[in-house]
Every structure is written in C-alpha cells, then in structure tokens.
C-alpha cells in the first residue's frame, strides 16, 4: 500500500520506519533529560551534605569556645545565669538556620521521566486521532 505525499509515493513500511525512528529519538531525548535531572538532584544533595558537614564541624570545634567567651563577657553586665541563657538562645537560633539551609538543599526533587513520557504518548495519540 502506497500513498502520495508531496508528489512522491511513500509506502506504509516507510511510514512505520519513520515512526519507529521518531519514537526512538524521543525516548533518547527523554532519557537524556532524566540523566540531567538526576545529575542536578545529586548536586543539590551533595551541596546539602556539605552544608550539614560545615554545621557539624562548626558546632564541634568553635562553638564551645565562643559560648564560653560570650558567657564570661556578658556575665560582667548581667547575672551569670542570664548570660548563659542569652548565649544558649543565640546558639540555638544559629543551629536552626544552618539546619534549615541543609534541609532545603537535601530535598529530593525527583525525576520527571514517567510524566514526560505519558505527556508525549498522549500528544502522539491526540495527533493520530486528529489525522483520522
């Protein structure tokens, strides 16, 4: 069975071969998009891990000295227990900010390949139905 397209005869086999080539090309593009999405997601997770590691390193090395120094300084102006409370609240606030930064970087966005393939399949079906 042949049909005429733009003045040339095209067989059904040729059309099927073109469709298969186009579907394969589309799948390759979608897989490449999925790879890029995965790379971006991994980068975000790694950056989140770096922030978390920085927060941990800071807490384990510098903060005890900073807390002691701050308490001793504030104890000259307010009661020692109040100085300790002020430093505690300040340190908890800083830890909360670092934890929020780490959490925002560690969120997994996922890969949109299944949704993209569904949308492509529906677009192909709609186009085929319109041609009937």
Q: Where are the domains of the chain?
A: 2-111
Instruction: Write the pLDDT tens digit of every residue in 54-93.
Output: 988 988 888 788 889 999 999 999 999 999 999 999 989 9
Instruction: Write the pLDDT tens digit of every residue in 5-52.
Output: 565 677 888 888 898 899 899 889 988 988 998 999 899 999 999 999
Residue 112 C-alpha from the chain's centroid: 11
Place of tokens 């399949």: 121
- Please, are residues 55 and 102 in contact by the beta-carbon 8 Å criterion? yes
What integer pLDDT is reported at residue 11 of this predicted model? 86
- Average the pLDDT over 115-123 and give the result: 81
Of residues 43, 41, 36, the one with CA closest to residue 116: 36
pTM confidence score? 0.43
Terminal Cα-to-Cα distance of the chain (whole angstroms): 17
How many other C-beta atoms are found inside a 10 Å radius of the C-beta of residue 83?
18
What integer pLDDT is reported at residue 82 of this predicted model? 95
Of residues 109, 93, 96, the one with CA closest to residue 47: 109
Q: What is the spatial distance between Cα 98 and Cα 44, in angstroms, rounded to a whole number?
A: 16
123 vs 82, more confident: 82
What integer pLDDT is reported at residue 119 of this predicted model? 82
Q: Which residues contact 31 (CB under 8 A, 6 or more apart)?
A: 113
Q: What is the spatial distance between Cα 117 and Cα 34, in angstroms, rounded to a whole number?
A: 11
């Amino acid at each position: 069975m042949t049909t005429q397209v733009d003045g040339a005869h095209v067989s059904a086999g040729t059309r099927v071969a073109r469709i298969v080539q186009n579907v394969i090309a589309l799948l390759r593009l979608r897989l490449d998009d999925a790879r890029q999405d995965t790379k971006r997601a991994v980068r975000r997770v790694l950056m989140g891990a770096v922030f978390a590691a920085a927060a941990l390193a800071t807490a384990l090395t510098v903060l005890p000295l900073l807390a002691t120094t701050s308490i001793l300084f504030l104890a000259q102006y307010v009661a020692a227990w109040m100085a300790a409370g002020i430093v505690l609240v300040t340190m908890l606030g800083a830890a909360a900010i670092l934890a929020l930064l780490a959490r925002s970087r560690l969120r997994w966005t996922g890969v949109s390949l299944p949704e993209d393939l569904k949308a492509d399949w529906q677009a192909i079906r709609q186009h085929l139905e319109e041609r009937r």
